[in-house]
Each structure stands twice: as C-alpha cells, then as structure tokens.
Amino acid sequence: MNNTLLYTIASLSGLGLIAAIILYIIAQKFKVYEDPKIDEVDEVLPGANCGGCGFPGCRNFAEECVKASDLSNLYCPVGGDECMQNVARILGREAVKKIPKVAVVRCNGTYKNCPQTTVYDGAQTCAIASKLYGGPTQCQYGCLGFADCVAACKFDAIYIDQETGLPVVDDDKCTACGACVIACPRHLIELRKKWPKGRKIYVACMNHDKGGSARKACQTACIGCQLCVKECKFDAITVTDFLAYIDPDKCTLCRKCVAVCPTHAIQEINFPPRKQPGKDTKVKTNKQDSQNSQSDNLSAQTHQENMQSKTNNDQGDSTQNPNEAG
C-alpha cells in the first residue's frame, strides 16, 4: 500500500517535471523580446487611447517610438510638445516641436441662415442619415446635427448648440486628436492652426455649388466670387469649384478678406471690435472745425487790431496837419 502510494507520487512528480522542462524549452524558443523602454515611454503618455497619433492606442504608439530612429513623424496631439520631449529624453533622441491645432467646424448653416425644409425620421446618426437623404435643408453639404462628432470626442470638447443646431468646439478642451474629423461623414471639421487668444479666420462653408444655388440654400454660403482672393496679399486664399479656402499656414489674420466677403461666409472669431471709421472721422472733423474756428477768431482779432492801428495813425496825421498850416 505504501509502495503504491510512493510510486504514484513519484510518477506524478516525474511527469510534472518533464512537462515543466518541455514548457520551459518552448517558452525559451518562442519568447518575444520586448524593449523595457516601451514601458517607460508608455508611462509618460497620456493614456487617452484616442488614436490621434495614428495608432490604435498609446501602447502601440510607444512601441513605434522605440522602434523609430527619428521622432519627426511621430506626435501625440493630446500630450503635446511636453509629452514628446519626455519621450525623446527616454529614448535619447530629439523631438520636433509642432504648432498646436484645434478643430474647426466649417459650416454656418444655422436655423436662421439655412431654414429646414424636411424632417428626418430615421436613425439619429450622421453616418446613416448622410447615406439616406440630403439633409434637413436645401444645402447638401451642411451639418446634419445628429452629433456623431460629440459621441466621438473623449474629452467633452464639442457639443451641439441648441440655438443654432451646429457643433461648437471648446478650444480649451480640444486636443486635436482628430476623432471628430473622422466621425463627420461630410468632412465639415478640420484641424487648423491654433492662434493665440483663440482667434480664427476661416471659410465656414463647404458648398461647391454655383453662387446662385449656394446662396439659395444658405444665406451665408460661399459663392466663389473671388473678392477675397483679390484682396489677400499673402496668397493665402484659393477658390476651387466655387468654394474659397484659407490656408492657415499662410494666413496672417489681417481680416481684409472678411471685410470684402459679400455673404459673410468668412468667419472671424475672438477678435476685438473693429474701429468705426465714421466715428473717427466725426471726431477728426470736429477737432479740425475747432482749430479752424480758433484760426478764424485769431485772424479776425488781428484784422481788428490792424484797423485800430490804422485809425490811430490817420487821427495823428489829421491833428498834425493844422499845426503845420498855422
């Protein structure tokens, strides 16, 4: 009985040892080496897993950073320059600073500018609605308003304005991950250069129809008149298929194109109020009138003094003549 128990224990122990040896050999043969720097890089990343870097998640981005010999084509929009500097420090490389960007909705088809003509009763998503019908208005290019971009944003940086029916981007929360850009089926959202104080100048229209048709669909549609192109001195504006586009890399925010746009399709955001030429002219005119009045008064006073002096001289001459005669 005791011998049987001992044989059983020995047999099982031997089988376990043999299995362990086999598993060890297999593990050593097929093991995958992972650079420990991947974990270090992954720790300094924001962990948003938003895909803004072009990879499925932060772990994949960390692996690519370790493999790459140059970080110029790799960038984490959520972490920004500070995050990439930390990654470069771990890997002993140099990170290229990039201009921050922000999402911009290129549509101004509000309820007022672009009245609704139809009612959609299907699935309340932009992706499905864009395949089934043209939209609630006459504009076939405008925002559908079903908030696919809002659902795609992981940072609560975009919401639907109930008064206009259009998405609004919160610049302070936007990380330029590009999720909303991908989610919009009509490609109305663009990542543009982020200027100081949140200032922006862009064409809030994506209508490629001719001027008359575009203006009929929306009051603020771009009609491709090219007045903005002629006004811009920096070659920052081009017109293609009746639609103007402002290059954010060439634009200097001079706002001259805004002033000449007949439909107000070009938006200027977060700029100080423009100076009123009429008011300045009036002030200048009043000041000039005051100066002219003072000059006239001075001239009149001088003229009066001259006349008084002449009168005194005449009286002196007439008094002197009788004495000479006597």
Helix (H, G, I), strand (E, B) or coil at 250: coil
Q: What is the pLDDT along the chain (326 residues), one digit of tens a residue?
A: 577 888 888 888 999 999 999 999 998 888 777 789 999 999 999 999 988 898 999 999 999 999 999 998 999 999 999 999 999 999 999 998 999 999 999 999 999 999 989 889 899 999 999 999 888 899 999 999 999 999 999 999 999 999 999 999 999 999 999 999 999 999 999 999 999 999 999 999 999 999 999 999 999 999 999 999 999 999 999 999 999 999 999 999 999 999 999 999 999 999 998 877 654 444 444 444 454 445 445 444 544 555 555 444 444 444 444 333 33
Segments of the chain assigned to CATH 1.10.15.40: 37-91
Q: Which fold has domain 101-269?
A: Alpha-Beta Plaits (3.30.70)
Treating both helix axes as pointing N-terminal to C-terminal, what angle do 37-44 and 58-67 enclose, rounded to 10 degrees? 130
d(CA 223, CA 198): 27
Closest among 97, 82, 179, 79 to 61, alpha carbons compared: 79
Q: What's the pLDDT tens digit per position in 289-305?
A: 454 445 445 444 544 55
Cβ-Cβ contacts under 8 Å for 188 (sequence gap 6 or more): 105, 106, 107, 141, 142, 143, 206
Closest among 106, 114, 102 to 245, alpha carbons compared: 106
Contact 188, 105 (CB under 8 A): yes
Segments of the chain assigned to CATH 3.30.70.20: 101-269
DSSP one-letter code for 196? G
Tokens 């080496």 belong to residue: 33
Which CATH number does 37-91 carry?
A: 1.10.15.40
Q: DSSP string covering 233-245, please? A: SSS-EEEETTEEE
DSSP one-letter code for 154? S
